[in-house]
Structure 1
């Protein structure tokens, strides 16, 4: 696999983003954002060519993206539904 090829990271990010459509819940979206950001960093020449460091950059970018998504789109206070009546109560 071409670890240091920028478009491989971008395509992987879009494929993981498409997987998010199948499995909703912001599980894979952080990974997709991390892959695209890593691809951008590789494309502009900031990221190193070492596969281990690229995976580390991908992991850190994914974690930051996941926390940002959790902060902006996560569970909010008061969002929990409290049931005060049972369907079997007449």
Structure 2
């Protein structure tokens, strides 16, 4: 199992599954995790080949958090903006 967690294609497959979940349940939650998994998968090609699985999960969590915060900042409504309706759409 440990050997499987340090394989690059497992992380990229997990990223793909999370992107598919994001299309079913929108809200940028799964997309942040997908970006984190893709980042770890791509980093396993280079310097992270000999990193232990707990460290990979820590890196995954850090990348996911940063990605989620960036997505929230980019796609959220401006501060203080509230959608109000002045009239009924049935009138």
* TM-score normalised according to structure 2 size: 0.83
State whether structure 2 residue 45 is matched by structure 1 residue 43: yes
Cα 1:87/1:73, change in 2 over 3 Å: closer
Unaligned runs of 5+ in 1: none
Aligned residues: 89
**Match of residue 8 from structure 1:** 10
Task: Summarize the alignment of residues 10-89 of structure 1 with structure 2, pairs less than 5 Å apart.
Answer: 10-46=12-48, 48-77=50-79, 79-85=81-87
Offset of 1:87 from its aligned partner?
Answer: 6.8
- Unaligned stretches of 5+ residues in structure 2: none
CA contact (8 A) 1:47 1:54 kept: no
For the residue of structure 2 that corresponds to 1:28, the secondary structure is helix
Moved more, 71-80 or 53-62: 71-80
